[in-house]
Structure 1
């Protein structure tokens, strides 16, 4: 497919909303809390993506949510989750936790142990309201994500999606969103094909080498020829079904990348 039918709009890391609270260092891709920008309110059903680092023995105390699908992608350290449904979980690298808040839940998320936790907190808008709250966890190994786009979150009715709390395959989300993850080796590439005409995709390069509020550095990829580094993202608009969205690792180290198919 012609690359001219795929439009890339970068969202560079240093342009994201950013707050340093001492115990919490966070970046906001879309408007959140004290960062409000009318240009960045949502992207399809994606509403929040925060890249958070929380110091040891700190975290988000018990608070409530409703009518959001909330998932956490753990990059490093350990994250302790507790909620009003009775779930208690310590999540590590490779884990994804998904809470379907529905009619309402309360939860807390705090660092477990003596090491900083680095994770991405992602919220999506569900396809229907007043759902019964539910909780799911999934684990994916480094090998499963190595040099491929592994689907780790998918709409609840998709083929291969289990509704078990700790089932295999993608975590089930009540939103029209699929999330793919890859750990891309130096010199390797992966290709995602637009699932339909006028498809929307968001790509994010995780800031794995450490907190950096300045211009991006570290792992480097090219997204259909547009260079992105750690913390950078990009909005992708594909005109035709089957259009190729190509991620090339052109840097000197592994790149951990998330790709969202959204509606």
Structure 2
């Protein structure tokens, strides 16, 4: 069963410096039909103006993944990490027992666009951790985060995995889904079909009660999406 979450139906908040769209309930946006999906709790599509960002604030017991779509981020946290992330890079902050951080647009002139993703952990009170990496743009599924850190991916504290999907024009991929598992797709760029459903950038798809799904790209440009394997 596939249930679409269309981009225009997401929650939206515009604070001037920040224009954000929420796939799931977050902050002042509440929709009891969209409180998360399995262990996936948040996907926020943030656009941040130059010289703006999130002041220092705290988190605990959450796996927080950031994917920079355009522009760059200046990151600082209470563990002593001071980093800059550029377009195409991923960041994992395992909040554990507690971490404070700030995230600012590192450019004086360019808008920053990022995806902020929260995955609920299955263990609590761990030491905070920080990981950062570019995984490239190879065709197919590239592991970004997993419970074991497989294939050089980030190691997260949940029985869940995140993949980057890149499909070249005219290509397709059949992906198996484990028994009792769920899948969520967040579409980023190109024209992606999930079985018979066509997705536009910003759309999401909840996939459950099935053992496989077909991804296809019938356009002339690459497809880019995030694929979550969830308990």
> Where on the TM-score scale, by shorter chain, does this alignment land: which range?
over 0.9
Measure the CA separation in 2 of the matches of 1:248 and 1:21: 36
Secondary structure class of the residue paired with 2:186: strand
Measure the CA separation in 2 of the matches of 1:12 and 1:260: 17
Q: TM-score scaled to structure 1, two decimals? A: 0.84
Measure the CA separation in 1 of the matches of 2:85 and 2:110: 13
1:202 aligns with 2:173: no
Secondary structure class of the residue paired with 1:132: coil
The equivalent position to 1:255 in structure 2, one of 206, 223, 226, is: 223
Partner of 2:105: 111
Measure the CA separation in 1 of the matches of 2:173 and 2:68: 22
CA contact (8 A) 2:149 2:156 kept: no
The equivalent position to 1:179 in structure 2, one of 146, 155, 162, is: 162
Partner of 1:152: 144
Measure the CA separation in 1 of the matches of 2:171 and 2:113: 25
Measure the CA separation in 1 of the matches of 2:110 and 2:67: 17
Write out aligned runs for 1:129-168 (5 A). 129-142=124-137, 144=138, 146=139, 148-155=140-147, 157=148, 159-160=150-151
RMSD: 1.3
- Shift in Å at residue 67 of structure 1? 1.0
Write out aligned runs for 1:40-51 (5 A). 40-51=34-45
Partner of 2:62: 68
Measure the CA separation in 1 of the matches of 2:166 and 2:16: 29
Partner of 2:30: 36
CA contact (8 A) 1:149 1:190 kept: no
Measure the CA separation in 2 of the matches of 1:99 and 1:90: 14
Partner of 1:192: 175
Q: Which has the higher strand share?
A: 2
Secondary structure class of the residue paired with 1:50: strand
